[in-house]
Amino acid sequence: MPLLELQQRLISAIFQRDQLAAAANLVKTQGRLNSEQRVGIYRNSAHGILLDYLESLYPVSLELVGTEFFGRAAHNFIDQAPPTSPFLAEYGVGFAEHLAQLPALQELMWIVEVTQLEWARHAAWHTVNQASSDFTQLETLSAQEQAELRFQLPHSAQLLSSTAPIHSIWLAHQTEPYADKLSFEEIDLQTAEQVLIFREHRHLHQISLNHDDAAFLKAVQNQATMNELAEQFAEQLPWLFSIALQNAWLTGFTTTQPV
Amino acid sequence: MQNKQIITAALMAIGLSAALSVATAEDKKPETEKCAGIVKAGMNDCGANGHACAGKAAKDSDPGEWITLPKGTCEKIAGGTVVKG
């Protein structure tokens, strides 16, 4: 059998439970372990490593659903969505959507939203930092160029709009004494939250935004021009820019049309 | 307020915030130095020693691997050597 086919059949056995017996035909029985058990060692090893990784990626989700439930969900996820890249940091996207399909969580979608937040943190952390533009240069532009300006959030920015207070729930599960941390019992699960996550140098920021800041950043993310921002936010606009720049929520600007 | 006035006010706010950010960043920027010989495997800062990027140091306390430290710290650490440049 060509090596490539052998490798593909072994991979099938690792990530598809029903292929274990087929792959076992390729392996000899030795000692007290039959061929299926010997292939199973590889399956368990790969699943074990990926389960450990998913647990480290989604620690709050793990606490919320419990080790047993998380383990079952993770094993099914690993079979349905095995790694496709050699970079482990790229693995785990889509786990929230996998959880969203599970009947047991249909009435607990806030847990799925917390899982989405945990992936957003991971994705933001693994985004390359970029230098900020020099905003003092804006005054050198013509009035026409200023009206057509578009602004940019950090490349790592993740804007989440959730029906549940995901930032508060996440904080409640941290051991560090954050200033705005509430105990889980104090949190009203019906409160929607808008959350911004982004990386600045070696620091990951996670902020619960007020309605105005969230609407402003959403408009910026949607490539609204300065003129459109002025229409939408009127007298609030200078204040919104001040807050955004002081908190490093904006990193650049352009006068060119989006592609 | 007309759009033009709003944009002018917004640009003033941006200019002030940007100038403030630059001043703050300059105030806060500490003097640093590269310190070699004290780095744990996988915890080095930047490209050196035949590899291209941070976190690639293969063994502890390699004299060719460095991390950035506040100036004056390196000489206080056993095995630490300041890297020039």
pLDDT digits (tens, 9 = 90+) for A194-244: 999 999 988 999 999 999 999 999 999 999 999 999 999 999 999 999 999
Distance from CA of A219 to the nearest CA of B (A): 15
pLDDT at B50: 56
In this predicted structure, which of A191-200, B43-52, B65-74 has the lowest mean pLDDT? B43-52
> Measured between alpha carbons, how far is A169 from A253 in angstroms, rounded to an integer?
34
Question: Which domains, from first to last, does chain A contain?
Answer: 1-107 (no CATH), 129-259 (3.90.930)
Same domain, B4 and B38: no
pLDDT tops 60 at residue B61? yes
Q: How far is CA A50 from CA A218, A219, B4, in A?
A: 34, 38, 55
Residues B26 and B59 in one domain: no
- The answer on B36 and B26 residing in a single domain is no
Looking up tokens 């709003």 gives B6
Residues B64 and B82 in one domain: yes
pLDDT at B46 over 80: no
A246 interface with B at CB cutoff 8 Å: yes
For residue A159 the two structure tokens come to 């804007």
Instruction: Give chain B's domain count.
Output: 2
pLDDT over 90 at A83, yes or no: yes
Suggest the residue from B1, B5, B8, B11 to mutate for an interface test with chain A (most A CBs closer than 10 A).
B11
Q: Are residues B25 and B49 in the same domain?
A: no
Which residue from B minimizes the CA distance to A247? B21
Residues 6+ apart with CB under 8 A from B32: B68, B69, B70, B71
Helix (H) or strand (E) holding A113: helix A109-125
B75 shares its domain with B44: yes
Average pLDDT in chain A: 93
Domain that holds residue B19: 1-30
Return mean pLDDT, chain B. Answer: 76
Q: Which of A235, A238, A246 sits opposite B21 (nearest CB)?
A: A246
Which of A:15-54 have CB within 8 Å of B? none
**What ipTM is given for this predicted complex?**
0.76
Are both B54 and B80 inside the same structural domain? yes
User: What is the model's pLDDT at position B48?
Assistant: 55
